[in-house]
Structure 1
Amino acid sequence: MAAACLTEWQTWRQQLLHNGERRLLVLAGSQTWAMAQARRLGNVCHSRQLWLGQAEPGQAALPVNKFQTALGQEYDSLVFNAFSGLHPDAFGAAAGTLVAGGVMLLLCPPLTDWPEYADPDLVRYVAQPEQAEGLDSPFLRRFVRQLQQDESVLVWQQGAPFPPLPPLSSTPWQPARDRQGCLNSQQRNALAHMLRCARTRTPLVLTADRGRGKSSLLGLAAHRLLQSGLKVLLTAPNHHAPAQALHHCASPLRFVAPDALLAEQPAADMLLIDEAAAIPVPMLLTLARRYCCIFASTEHGYEGTGLGFQLKFQPRLNTLSPGWRKVHIKTPARWSPRDPLEPLVFRLLALNAAPVAPPRSRSDDSTPAGADPLRFCWVTREMLQNDEPLLQQLFGLLTLAHYQTRPSDLRQLLDAPDLRLAVTLQGNIPVAVALVIREGPLPAALSQGVWRGQRRPRGHLLPQSLAFHGGLARACQFTYQRVMRIVVHPHCQQQGTGSRLLHWLQQHLPQQTGCDFIGTSFGASPSLLAFWQQNGFWAVRLGQSRDGVSGLHAVMMLWPCSAAAKHTLPLWQGQFSANLQAYRQGRWPEELNAIYQALDLLPPGVTEQQDSHIARDFAFYHRDLSCDQPALSRFVATHAPLQPLSDRQQQLLAALLTPGALPAQTAREHGLSGHKAAITQARQLLQSFFMVPSET
């Protein structure tokens, strides 16, 4: 690269800053060449640089999967080494840290070869790493096509001259802060709302996409509130996130981590929560009960939490504080509204994907009697790759269905080899969609490792969890088609559309895949349980703790397809019923009563052989105490130890095996050092009931 090109590059970057815009430069070639060019281009500007992925020796870099630690920071230059894996969440989030005048350098193989490249990120979408070998990536093929269609993208191919730098507009973008520290009218309006809500003790939710100055506004508001004599605290999911808030607060502002807030409960007139969507919903609700809060949240959650905040937290806040307020900021603060990089990132990751609304049904519908306007079909990855409008509609529908949707879900949709997509169409409009993934069976040695808590391979949620957590020894031997998500467009809900799609799956999946079970796992609520039970599914596992984001208890349900499955499912249901009965006689969370009442259950049924199997492998391996407590308590009640236990040991064992008892709490009550010590004691005491196994 000639010195003249570097000089031209530096001048062009200065003009880019003058305009308040950002750009993407693709360095396509070998990794060695791309890293060398990225270093030379970065050295010219002597800027704040973030490098994600592998770098040259001596170059400071952050692993791609650690991208969250960069959130809340600002950079003039960003290097994303896609040779280390094109992690969609990391790509989207990192782009939001790039300030005006910044350039994102994307290091990748030659564009024509990239879709066949052995991308390390592909292993996240397969159960075993070897399954990723030789996979073609429709996601990368679409990604490359989007890059090539965008005129703002600069591409430098190895062996070709440095690309000509396009002329830039002479229109300046020089935002100036007013006396309050705000950069535009939307920020001024938001700050006024924040101060007003603080005075009236009214919770406020501040939302925006990245780069709108949410964190800066928190700092400005904190300064004003502290100056007025109020006690203000700041929290965030990690200590990196609030950097901008602390920077923009001219008064000393105390940061307290969320878990410390819950444990210590320091006094405060106002609690400011940065990146609130990345904090679990139950934790947010607890904080909202204890403090008057301002919640700042990213609208499009690149980490998969934005929708959770919108769909799960805000409705609960309605009940907790009906008068809460919401302010949204649209105008960018870190870059000009003319910036082409943000809309490019949104297109690359389908962040604006939305379903097409079908016509609303009418009571005077003139459809002839017996006519069926709905049709069902499979949509393949090839169809999605070649039909961008269809991809946008279906991904938009899937986004409506789940509160943890993230850009990585788009890659899974296009690249995961064991994924199937069933669609309900009204005319040509998708009105319902089901995402189904194949799981199990697992090899015998791996199944035993899962059962004993020694192995935890990627994927295979149902067989692994039913075996390890549910105590169902044969679970890993069966084949499952798990319905990961099923969603019906709001215009078509409460009309039986979801049940009809599920019935279509029940007809076609066993014929086409030879599966033993169709299954599902979701956050339990009485209404959702009713839907699945009405369609013939039976619960076989209920989580005893809440999900960190949804605040709900996970339930797993199955519909049997094969003769073996139909024989086995009642046995599993009997064991599940027996375990629930044991939990209800022990320490039972009150919030589970409504779920229990909604469950269709068979009579309890267990075998002494199964309980002994669980007890033995808990004692000598790594099975989970909380999940095994019902079986362990039944076993101890009917068996005598080979080595007598003292009264103290018997009391400790009884306490540890009480269904629902928490090991850490039991440890405190019995003078043990903590959770791990309690588990160790439980294993050692159970070992006294068995001969030491000869196998390893």
Structure 2
Amino acid sequence: MNGCLTDWPGFCRQLQYTGERRLLVLSGEESWAQQQAQALLALSAATSTLWLGDAPAGQPHSPTGKYHTALGREYQHLVFNAFSGLHPDALGASAGALTAGGVLLLLCPPLKLWPGFADPDLRRYVALPEQAAGLTSRFITRFIRIQQADRHVLSWQQGTPFPTLSLPAGTLWQGQQDNRGCLNPQQRHALAVMLHSARTHTPVVLTADRGRGKSSLLGRLAARLLRAGKRIVLTAPNPGAAAQAQAHCPVPLPFIAPDTLLKAPPPADLVLVDEAAAIPVPMLLTLARRHCCVFASTEHGYEGTGLGFALKFQPALAALHPHWRKLHMNMPARWSSTDPLEPLLFRLLALNASPPAPPPAGELNIQWISRQQLLNNDTLLLQVFGLLILAHYQTRPGDLRQLLDAPGMSLAVVFRQRTPVAAALLQREGALEQTLADAIWRGQRRPRGHLLPQSLAFHGGQAQACQFSYERIMRIVVHPDSQKTGIGSQLVHWLKHNTQADFLGTSFGASPDLLAFWHHNRFKLVRTGLAADGVSGLPAAMMLWPLTTAAQTVLPVWQGSFAADLQDEGRNMPGDLPHPVPRVNEQQDRQRAHDLAFYHRDWHADRPALRRFVHRQPPCPSLDEQQQRLLQAALIPGADPVVLAREFGHAGQKSVISALRRIMQCYF
């Protein structure tokens, strides 16, 4: 420890006086960084600290992947151990829980070595953990560059003196509540509007960035209404996310989990939904149909469904309730407007990324853009990432790291007068070695990524799928001001002629508009999901364009097999797409039946093939009457194993599937 640390408690008190927060980077060996963090916490005498990542023995902590515990809570200090992985979503969410006067202590390797450090978070972006070894992180290189350029960041490197603490100059931060419990005019206005909406049964959407007092305002709203005799229910993704609202309500405020609320809705005059963006859109819409609701959500969220709340839910809410009200708060309540930590985090995580307005005219230029070009040109990075955010409702800060660091990614950008107006992000998949491909087919392995080949092999029943190579179009977007002009189709046409793989492919929520777009570009449907996505409410659709002779040969076979499965299950092609000619491959049906019986293939996906196989076989003499009845009932299109379990006296779905596997073994 250094003598200058005697200034540390006074520095923290001055931060609290001015309502500001700071980042302190502790770089060196992990044990050294942990020890210094513990000492600083002891000196500051903080009463509430969140420690994410590994910690010394006896120090309470949470894994970085459990960052959701920070949502809706407040902490005086935060220790983020980047040796356990620099998880961008975790950093953004937890830093938003840091109150005025707090310090974010970031523990990391020596800065020169950090980009090449074996960061555990990189394993989220590779198929197999060993593939993360030896990767150099562009995301961390950019991270270091930005924080080193910020004069408010404190940096303490092992073997050097503790940094000089320059006390922040400023006036007393007025974090005082008025007689309504509000901290600023925006909160007072929002409270008044929500009280009026509760009386008129008008739904309200309340959005803000972290630290604006959304949750505390919900608690104060509930208190006012409960005292007036109203029946108020609070829901959130988990009880922890509701804790802040409950803490600001002096009378008991009941919490009910969203799924429980939907299954057994209690009588309620108003339902308060905190951290709404973390709840699937179909669930939110059901709540909106049944109750008068206030939906509170973070503007730049880390909750998991991200922009789905804005892009999917809010337009649907407007259709249900045309007179709904939307409120937005941008005045900080948890810290002062002079706080330098929030704008720093916005730069580090590209939360301020937005695409520029496109020129009205000019020639289009399409080109591949490397990740190194993005690293060298932060303006271009923010413009392109801003475009990609518009393309998907589940964008999170972690997607920035994926863009910069994930192996096998490529980016095509359409420029007009040097301004990006469209982009496509692609991921290399497939061409897997045979042992892994066999394990995927049998349901024994499910490595990260490789969405198209894995799904086509395991769910689609295409045994060869993992042998082919794919470029999956993860996202494709055209700036809203340039849409409906054919730019998206021009980009797809360019990709067809500038991509090296067997297939160009895509997977998306099967909305009529998207199905029509890909069909217009002559992609072929090869699979649809059996269940709707929890956020979009749509089943997934997978479509391919063949780029090689081998792919052109096999694609009609895959389409025919898919069509046969659809026909046998009584399902139609989505979006009025033309129905391919069904093709039944008896040998593949037999293989699917065999590997379901002896391995771990999926009953629901394989049921059409199992039905065809069983109907071609003579009755199996070793099956008793009960087993025969169970098999026939399970082969009926749409049969539900949960219902079968009750009907045939099994403990549950797993027990029924295990029994069906044993029954199928009798045929081999």
TM-score (norm: length of structure 2): 0.98
Per-residue deviation, residues 385-405 of structure 1 (Å, max 9, x unmatched)? 000110010000000110011
Offset of residue 304 of structure 1:
4.2
| Partner SS for 2:415 | strand
Offset of residue 668 of structure 1:
2.7
Distance 1:492 1:170, change over 3 A: closer
Offset of residue 287 of structure 1:
1.4
Measure, in 1, the Cα distance between the counterparts of 2:478 and 2:611. Answer: 43
Per-residue deviation, residues 50-83 of structure 1 (Å, max 9, x unmatched)? 1111111111111011111221111111000111
Measure, in 2, the Cα distance between the counterparts of 1:98 and 1:641. Answer: 67
Match of 1:443 among 418, 433, 436: 433
Measure, in 2, the Cα distance between the counterparts of 1:424 and 1:654. Answer: 55
| Partner SS for 1:495 | coil
Offset of residue 641 of structure 1:
4.2
2:74 aligns with: 74
Per-residue deviation, residues 462-515 of structure 1 (Å, max 9, x unmatched)? 111111111111111111110000000111111110111111110010xxx3x1
Q: Point out the more displaced range, 672-681 or 74-83.
A: 672-681
1:12 aligns with: 11
Offset of residue 459 of structure 1:
0.9
1:276-295 alignment, distance < 5 Å = 276-295=276-295
2:386 aligns with: 396
Equivalent pair of 2:515/2:575 in contact (CA under 8 Å): no
1:676 aligns with: 654
| Partner SS for 1:242 | helix
| Alignment of 1:635 onto 2:634 | no
Equivalent pair of 2:424/2:474 in contact (CA under 8 Å): yes
Match of 1:580 among 526, 548, 566: 566
1:64 aligns with: 64
| Partner SS for 2:529 | strand
| Alignment of 1:434 onto 2:433 | no
| Partner SS for 2:505 | strand
Per-residue deviation, residues 559-597 of structure 1 (Å, max 9, x unmatched)? 11111111111010001111111222xxx6xxxx6x624
1:469 aligns with: 459
1:693 aligns with: none
Match of 2:595 among 617, 629, 652: 617
Give the gaps of 5 or more residues in structure 2.
none
Count of aligned positions: 667
Offset of residue 116 of structure 1:
1.4
Measure, in 2, the Cα distance between the counterparts of 1:633 and 1:69. Answer: 46
Letter in 2 for 1:437: Q
Measure, in 2, the Cα distance between the counterparts of 1:566 and 1:547. Answer: 30
| Alignment of 1:558 onto 2:558 | no
| Alignment of 1:385 onto 2:375 | yes
| Alignment of 1:518 onto 2:504 | yes
Offset of residue 647 of structure 1:
3.8
Offset of residue 114 of structure 1:
1.1
Measure, in 1, the Cα distance between the counterparts of 2:289 and 2:624. Answer: 46
| Partner SS for 2:241 | coil
Match of 1:413 among 398, 403, 410: 403
Match of 1:507 among 497, 500, 523: 497
Equivalent pair of 2:359/2:416 in contact (CA under 8 Å): no
| Alignment of 1:645 onto 2:623 | yes
Letter in 2 for 1:341: L
1:245 aligns with: 245
Per-residue deviation, residues 227-281 of structure 1 (Å, max 9, x unmatched)? 1111111111011101111111111111111111122222212111110100011
| Partner SS for 2:218 | helix
1:103 aligns with: 103
Measure, in 1, the Cα distance between the counterparts of 2:202 and 2:421. Answer: 39
2:270 aligns with: 270
RMSD: 1.3
1:534 aligns with: 520
| Partner SS for 1:179 | coil
Offset of residue 684 of structure 1:
1.9
Measure, in 2, the Cα distance between the counterparts of 1:661 and 1:563. Answer: 39
Distance 1:665 1:642, change over 3 A: closer
Equivalent pair of 1:237/1:276 in contact (CA under 8 Å): yes
Offset of residue 170 of structure 1:
3.5
Equivalent pair of 1:21/1:100 in contact (CA under 8 Å): yes
Identity %, equivalent residues: 61
Offset of residue 306 of structure 1:
2.9
| Partner SS for 1:323 | coil
Q: Point out the more displaced range, 121-130 or 454-463.
A: 121-130
Letter in 1 for 2:38: R
Measure, in 2, the Cα distance between the counterparts of 1:227 and 1:470. Answer: 57
Equivalent pair of 1:235/1:242 in contact (CA under 8 Å): yes
Offset of residue 157 of structure 1:
1.0
| Partner SS for 2:107 | strand
| Alignment of 1:226 onto 2:226 | yes
Measure, in 1, the Cα distance between the counterparts of 2:636 and 2:351. Answer: 47
Offset of residue 432 of structure 1:
0.6
Equivalent pair of 1:641/1:688 in contact (CA under 8 Å): no
Measure, in 2, the Cα distance between the counterparts of 1:92 and 1:59. Answer: 22
Per-residue deviation, residues 60-110 of structure 1 (Å, max 9, x unmatched)? 111011111221111111000111110111011110010000000011111
2:173 aligns with: 173
1:67-216 alignment, distance < 5 Å = 67-216=67-216
Distance 1:184 1:649, change over 3 A: same
Measure, in 1, the Cα distance between the counterparts of 2:627 and 2:198. Answer: 55
Measure, in 1, the Cα distance between the counterparts of 2:258 and 2:665. Answer: 40
Give the gaps of 5 or more residues in structure 1.
362-366, 368-372, 691-696
